[in-house]
Structure 1
Amino acid sequence: MHAIPATLVVGLLAFTLSGCSSLPDRKQVWSRSSDFFSQSAEVLKAQRKRLANFAGSLVGSHDDEVRDSEVEALFAQPYIDPLTRYLEERSVDDRFAAQLARVAAERNRRCDAISATYAQREATGDNLQRMRRGYLYSCPGEVQVFASRVDSGSASVASARTSTAVKASSEEITKTAAESPPATDRPDTELEDALTRREHSDCYLLYTIRNNTQALAACQPLAAAGDAKAQHHMASLALMRNDAATAADWAKRSAAQQYAPGQLVLGQLYQDGRGVPQDPVRAHGLMKSAADRDLAEAAYHTGRIYMNGTGVSADAGLAARYLEQAASSGHIPAYFALADLHAASEPERFRYWMDKAARQGSARAQFLLGESYARGTHGPADNEAAYVWYSLALLNGHDPAKTGIERQQKLLTNSQLATARSRVEDGINGRWY
């Protein structure tokens, strides 16, 4: 994210807090709403863009900028294979969904251009080999189309030659054909492998970017053929349609192959009794198995099971272990669960875990952290810190933080407000103190 000038941060808060009381001797610290509205339309437009960048995740927008820069570097180079490798490496990470959609569109555009180029070329074996060497990895479908043209031309030539061989007996022709099958009858394993890899990649990619209709069509044949990941995707797509019975069928197939996401989905179905009889014991077994395969979401659910004692005896130690496993992957709900787990016995740990969630852009965590510092729960009160976290929560769209900001600003000196304002700007830009 680009740095947001302090005047814009101040103006935004003044606009958002219009109607809240402010102290006359603090005009030098907080701009009034009228100042905000007096800014030019261009400045307001730029501000809205900046706000959109961090809405829902103040620090996530910086990550998006890094990802976008990576994509722009890919687009700046002329080759197709780097785009395909990017898609294959990132296709299971939904944090890259927006970038994956862009890269896929560019990869397809470049493959279409190659197809158009070769459509104008003579369908010869030499041209086919050139196309294979350059584009089989990324554009196997286009290579297959050109190969069909070459095979059709070869078959026509062979047919013409056969028709002129009027003196050859039918027995000799049959014998020759049996001993030397034409090239078109020989399996092209390299092309078949490339097409298969592309089919799998398309299924995973379409699922990740939430193109659900095309993902369903792309994943169904792979799932039917036994691909565990595609089976998981089919289960998830069925759940989106509220078809729990179909979801359970696909999830069972995926889980039977020990595929962790498939185990998680099936475990959740058993936990809720959707598409299968409710069975908390079986749900726990499936989720724990998936967690032990390092699936963060499964570790979170397993920790919650141990925390609440559903289907298994409650165990705070195991709950903390699995929740911390999930938290190590940046799993925000795990931060909240750990904060709740420690709130009574180790209140300072509440702030530790809530702080982690707040710095990852959770508006709710930012608000709760503001409440903790304002009220002195889970540790000493800190009016300045409370003001900072309330402000970030409000900027992140959590309207209840308005009341907290109004209350806290009355408790701070001009100097403290100036420092708090600087900390708010730093937080927006991911420069945490």
Structure 2
Amino acid sequence: MLYGCAGYQPKDLFAQSKHWLEKTSERLETLNSANSKTHNYDTEVNTLFAQPYIDPLTDYINRHIDDKNRAEPLRKVSNERKVRCQKIADLYAKRPLTQASLNRYQAGYNYSCPKDVEAFALRLADTEKPETSESASAPSDISPTAVKPVLDQAIVSNVNKEQLNDCYLLTTISNFREAKQACLSPATEGDARAQLNMAIIHKAMGEYPQSFEWAEKVQDQSPRARYLLGELYASGQGVKQNDKAAFNAFEKAGEEGYADAQYMTAWCYESGIGTRKNPEQAIKWYQRAALNNNVPAKHSLGALLVQQNSTPSSLRNGQNWLIEAARAGYDESSLLLGQLLQESEQPDDKAEALVWYEVAQQQGSPEAVELAKKLRKDVSPEALNTARRQIHRILDGESNG
């Protein structure tokens, strides 16, 4: 199995893959320095190929794309990336053509294999009718197993199914300088997808007035453009800062099914920014975003339900949402699960708390490092090993405790 760096499986939490990548990066930096004089790049390419991940290949290409001395190494790395992406595409061709498969494909390989991921998305779009609406009155204790995200139909519906255009691909891989040139002509001619990409490109390049202008042009055709307008209003970039306008943009994009906008709408209701503070509406919107597979929303929904602790069912459901977010690599959820268990008086709970801190540490939480260190002296090795097995089962989806 060849992994994208962004690809994440629960069982990889204890595999030290981050350490492996860091060592690979350090090795390449050393070789780059040594090769700056000799222009012999065979060793650095071999080192790159020796690790199993795809994203470092893309990083190498993006970092050295303008280096004429590296024309041959770049060709080799590009070919290797194609081979690895094709192996992943062959693997996903055997998997069910479902939204869950697409979510995993996007999470792991959209950075390095965008063409293959988009092809999978288009095949899925051909087999499913688009989501038209979501219930605004769904109960707050819907299980995480009910998750069924929706695609951004405004993007998918405008894709040329025969061949992805350079504008989209260059934007997807964050090659904004070339993407800007590729997207300008079709955007000027009125192509909605190219106009959206221009808004994204200008924002990424810090050209906020132009980003706002392009987003306005396409907002009626793309919820992502509405969301982008909300971001610009919220930050006062390219337009006068306006919390109410930001909230309205987020809410409208959220009504159209855009997950990030649903999350921000919930956050506005929770924080009382741009609208009146309303915890019930916050839970409702966090739930919509969570059902749309927005990981921060899963965390926030879980945290709110746990905080309210109104019923045993609500508490349990909140913990389940936190576990869903933790499975997706969200360190704040792993940290909070550890803190909740540490408050318990049961020795076994403290051992599980320590393991959740270890998980959060693997996911990049600096706070978890100190919490685990303090708690470790109170947990026996036997209890810790038992807890590790239990948390492994939870992360692998065998049990939610």
TM-score class, shorter-chain normalisation, is 0.5 to 0.7
1:353 shift after superposition: 3.0
Residue 162 (structure 1) aligns with = none
1:225 paired residue among 166, 189, 196:
189
The C-alpha deviation readout for 1:61-112, integer Å capped at 9, x for no partner, is xxxxx9875424599xxxxxxxxxxxxx99x9575324525759xxxxxxxx
Q: Secondary structure at the match of 2:113?
A: helix
Work out the CA distance in 1 between the residues paired with 2:86 and 2:376.
Answer: 38
1:367 shift after superposition: 2.0
Residue 210 (structure 2) aligns with = 246
Residue 213 (structure 1) aligns with = 177
Question: Which amino acid in 2 is paired with 1:345?
Answer: Q
* Kept in 1: contact 2:352–2:388 (CA 8 A): no
Unpaired segments ≥5 residues, structure 2:
2-8, 20-46, 56-83, 94-101, 118-158
Work out the CA distance in 2 between the residues paired with 1:7 and 1:243.
Answer: 41
Work out the CA distance in 2 between the residues paired with 1:422 and 1:259.
Answer: 45
The C-alpha deviation readout for 1:307-335, integer Å capped at 9, x for no partner, is 22222222222221211111112212112
Residue 289 (structure 1) aligns with = 252
Residue 395 (structure 1) aligns with = 362
1:405 paired residue among 346, 356, 372:
372
Work out the CA distance in 2 between the residues paired with 1:331 and 1:262.
Answer: 18
Structure 1 52/359 Cα, relative in aligned 2: closer, same or farther at 3 Å?
farther
The C-alpha deviation readout for 1:146-193, integer Å capped at 9, x for no partner, is xxxxxxxxxxxxxxxxxxxxxxxxxxxxxxxxxxxxxxxxxxxxxxxx
Aligned counterparts, 1:338-417, within 5 A: 338-346=301-309, 348=315, 350-376=318-344, 382-417=349-384
Residue 336 (structure 1) aligns with = 299
* Kept in 2: contact 1:219–1:230 (CA 8 A): yes
* Kept in 2: contact 1:94–1:208 (CA 8 A): no
Question: Which amino acid in 2 is paired with 1:392?
Answer: V
Q: Please identify the structure whose Cα radius of gyration is greater.
A: 1
Work out the CA distance in 2 between the residues paired with 1:201 and 1:223.
Answer: 13
Residue 113 (structure 2) aligns with = 100
Root-mean-square deviation over aligned CA pairs: 4.3
Work out the CA distance in 2 between the residues paired with 1:67 and 1:297.
Answer: 27
TM-score norm. by structure 1 comes to 0.54
Work out the CA distance in 1 between the residues paired with 2:191 and 2:88.
Answer: 31
Tell me, yes or no, if structure 1 residue 71 matches structure 2 residue 89.
yes
Structure 1 68/336 Cα, relative in aligned 2: closer, same or farther at 3 Å?
farther
Structure 1 306/385 Cα, relative in aligned 2: closer, same or farther at 3 Å?
same
Q: Secondary structure at the match of 1:258?
A: coil
* Kept in 1: contact 2:331–2:359 (CA 8 A): yes
Structure 1 282/395 Cα, relative in aligned 2: closer, same or farther at 3 Å?
closer
Tell me, yes or no, if structure 1 residue 308 matches structure 2 residue 276.
no
* Kept in 2: contact 1:307–1:315 (CA 8 A): yes
Question: Which amino acid in 2 is paired with 1:97?
Answer: N
Instruction: Say which structure, 1 or 2, has more relative contact order (CA 8 Å, 6+ apart).
Output: 1
Work out the CA distance in 2 between the residues paired with 1:247 and 1:404.
Answer: 43
Q: Secondary structure at the match of 2:185?
A: helix
* Kept in 2: contact 1:335–1:353 (CA 8 A): yes
Structure 1 268/397 Cα, relative in aligned 2: closer, same or farther at 3 Å?
closer
Residue 62 (structure 1) aligns with = none
Question: Which amino acid in 2 is paired with 1:322?
Answer: W
Residue 289 (structure 2) aligns with = 326
Identity %: 25
Work out the CA distance in 2 between the residues paired with 1:355 and 1:5.
Answer: 16
Structure 1 216/231 Cα, relative in aligned 2: closer, same or farther at 3 Å?
same
After alignment, is 361-370 or 395-404 more displaced?
Answer: 395-404
Structure 1 74/352 Cα, relative in aligned 2: closer, same or farther at 3 Å?
closer
Residue 270 (structure 1) aligns with = 233
